[in-house]
Every structure is written in C-alpha cells, then in structure tokens.
Amino acid sequence: MDKVYGKLRNLDAYPKINEDFFSRTLSGGVITLVASIFIFVLFVSEFRLYLHTVTNTKLVVDTSRGGKLHINFDVTFPAIPCTLLSVDAMDISGERHLDIRHDIFKKRIDSQGNVVGTRQDGIGAPQIEKPLQRHGGRLEHNEKYCGSCFGAETADDECCNSCEEVREAYRKKGWAITNTDLIDQCKREGFVDKVKEEQGEGCNIHGSLEVNKVAGNFHFAPGKSFHQTNFQLLDLLAFQTENYNISHKINKLTFGDSIPGIVNPLDGVHWQQETPSGVYQYFIKVVPTIHTNIRGHTIQSNQFSVTEHFKNTETEMTRSAPGVFFFYDLSPIKVTFTEVHTSFLHFLTHICAIMGGVFTVAGIVDSFIYHGQKALRKKQELGKLR
C-alpha cells in the first residue's frame, strides 16, 4: 500500500510548499482582496442569470389547418353615438357577419370621456309594447300584432314588430332606409328622438369576434351595412350629416390571448385628422405564436405587424363610406417561444471559469508587481537607481 500511496503522491499536480518559505507582501494582500470582491460580484451576477429564465425562439412553417381566430378589441369613438355604431366582419371564404351583437358591449360617453350608460344590444330601440295596426287594419279579437315590413317581407306572414326588425328586413333585401320618420314602428319607439338625444356623444365599444382562420376584415362604421351588386353600402340616416367624425382611439386589439412580454403595436393608438371624415384602414399581418413558460403552460396566440392608411372621402374621386377597417392576413410562419432555465452544469462551468480566471490573472498581476519591486530594490542597493 505504501508503494501505491507513493505513486499517487507523485501524481499530485499541486505540490505543497512549506509555510516557512512563504513571503507575504502588502501588494499581494491588496490584490487578493480586490480579486475576492471581483469574484463575489461575478458570482452574484452569474447566479442571478441562472435564476432567470432564458427564452428560446424558433421559426417553423405553420401546418395547422382550419380553426378559428379570436379577435379582442376595445375602441373609443369620441364623436359617433352608440346608436349608430355597428360592427361587421367578412372573410375571403365568403362568410359575412353584419351588425354583430354577440359579445359586443357599448358604453355611451360624453364629450369629456365620462361614461353615460352601458348596454349590450346593438343599433335600434327596444320593441314597443303598444300594438299598432296590423298592416293598416284593426286587430281582431285574440289576434297578435304583426307589424308591416314596408315591402321588405320575404313571406306573407312575416312580421316586423320593431324599428330594428324593419331595418334588418331592409338590410337583407339590400335596401337602405334614409328616413325613419316614414316607419310607424320607428316613430312609435321614438327611434329618431333617441338618436338625436345622443348627438354630441361618443361611444366605447369592446368585445370579441370569432372568425375563420383565413384572410378577412372587420370594421366599425356609422349605420347598418347591406350589400348590393357586390358592393358594401351603409344605411346612413337622413337626419345625420354626410360628414361623420370617425376619429378613434384603439385601447386594445389582440388576435388571441395576450402573450407575456409582447406589446401589441396598435394598443393606445389615437387617430385625429384635420378632416376626420374618411376611411381609416389598418393592414395587419397576423403571425401565429406559441408561448410556453417555465412551468410548461402553453399559450397559443398570435402576434401581428401593421401598416396604416387614411383616405379622405371629401377629396377622393370615388365616394367611400366612412369607417375604421382592419384588414388581416395570416403569415405561413409560426413563432415558438420556450422559456427554459440555464442548466446547473452550465452554471457550475461558468463559476469555475470565473474563479479560475480571476485567480490566475490576479496571480500574474501580483507576480509582476512583486518582481518589479524586487528589481527596483536591487538596483537601489547597487546605487544604479537615480
């Protein structure tokens, strides 16, 4: 065993020096203290990096098919009453959703931005309770009221018992109502008076849309949309002026759930033109994104980039309906974000490198100072230093 121990001692790469031969210096003590502080600072910095997560980014081709796209929005129109504001959506597959009301909420706001009232219904007033005449005649005993659709009926037994139902029937026919005073239901409900009461008010509209995962658009406009000969038109009420102030502020717009650390480029955007009547257009490129945090929780959402364009309807050769339009298209590339921790072995390697590197550099500096001082003293003893 003594021979084995002897061979192991011969392999010692760190031979020990007797303490009697040590020569400790003031400069060595100062260098040791500075090196120790430096090692401690670097260790704390590396430890903080080890505790924080690292996000790995990867680009892949999006091979998913079908599915739905969830759009969340919160937009404020300071000069468009809630009674007039409508939301429409359509895509390249031919699917159209006009005057959307599901999951749409409106808040009436005054000129100072204070909330006046909140409601979930869309354009129109509540259905009347007092029965009108049935298509111009008197109601018989136990006969239910059936209001006229004023030529927009698709069947003899179709009824329009409210102003909103008449306007909806006209929209389906591709007709526009330019004077609601001629509609008995609208006169009885006081629809025009309610709209006039809201003049000078604004509207905050927020909610969500679920659309097909294909290119399309959604827009906010004053009036009801209807289609005629492949063109989209707006049913603008006659008592309103032709110039609608469509200035707006986008408080929030996301395509899917929010992703930590991602700032949407349209959040907080405020458009206010010198001639606010016109068409505001946003061309959006939606990028599918998957975010996986350190706990393994995955969020499948989207990022987007956007370009903006404003078209003044007063100076354009072709007359366009005022509104705010969001045209979106999907990118074929998917982005994946994955949060991971730095491995402990990687952290240990860095710590060893820090300690060994600082110790080695400090030894070089100490050796340089020590031998320099020694050479100076020797020259001074020989009288060569002047």
For 89-142, the pLDDT digits (tens) are 999 988 888 778 888 999 989 877 788 777 655 444 444 444 444 444 444 444
Structure tokens at 374: 């020694």
**Position 337 in a domain:** no
Whether the pLDDT of residue 278 is over 90: the answer is no
**Position 187 in a domain:** yes
Shared domain check, 146 and 41? no
Whether the pLDDT of residue 171 is over 80: the answer is no
- Tell which wins on pLDDT, 196 or 21: 196
**Position 336 in a domain:** no
**Position 10 in a domain:** no
Shared domain check, 124 and 45? no
**Position 212 in a domain:** yes
Number of domains in the chain: 2
- Tell which wins on pLDDT, 268 or 315: 268
DSSP state for residue 112 in the 8-state scheme: T
**Position 262 in a domain:** yes
Shared domain check, 94 and 47? no
Among 303, 331, 359, the domain-final residue is: 331
**Position 338 in a domain:** no
* pLDDT tens digit sequence for 216-269: 999 998 876 544 444 444 444 434 445 678 889 999 999 999 888 888 999 988
Shared domain check, 42 and 81? no
pLDDT of residue 85: 86
Beta-strand ranges (E) seen in 213-343 are: 216-222, 224-228, 231-235, 248-255, 269-271, 278-292, 298-312, 323-330, 333-341
Pairing of strands 323-330, 278-292: parallel
Cα distances (angstroms) measured from residue 386 to each of 257, 371, 379, 381: 79, 19, 9, 11
Shared domain check, 49 and 67? no
Share of the chain above pLDDT 90, in %: 26
- When pLDDT is averaged across residues 153-163 and rounded to a whole number, the result is 79
- Tell which wins on pLDDT, 349 or 224: 349
Whether the pLDDT of residue 174 is over 70: the answer is no
Shared domain check, 224 and 110? yes
- Calculate the average pLDDT of the chain: 79
Shared domain check, 115 and 137? yes
Shared domain check, 382 and 294? no
Least confident of 4-8, 36-40, 230-234, 382-386: 230-234
Domain span at residue 350 reads 22-54+346-386
Confidence category of residue 86, pLDDT binned at 50, 70, 90: confident
* Cα–Cα distance, 224 to 108 (Å, whole number): 19
Shared domain check, 327 and 353? no
Confidence category of residue 317, pLDDT binned at 50, 70, 90: low
**Position 69 in a domain:** yes
* pLDDT tens digit sequence for 6-28: 777 776 655 666 666 666 777 77
Shared domain check, 85 and 122? yes
Tell me the DSSP string of 313-354.
Answer: TTT-SS----EEEEEEEE-SEEEEEEEEEPPHHHHHHHHHHH
Most confident of 141-145, 194-198, 200-204: 200-204
Shared domain check, 182 and 138? yes
Shared domain check, 307 and 178? yes
Whether the pLDDT of residue 323 is over 80: the answer is yes
Q: How many CB atoms lie within 10 A of CB 31?
A: 19
Query: In what helix (H) or strand (E) does residue 31 lie, and over which residues does it extend?
Result: helix 26-51
Whether the pLDDT of residue 206 is over 70: the answer is yes
| 136 Cβ contact partners less than 8 Å away, ≥ 6 residues apart | 148
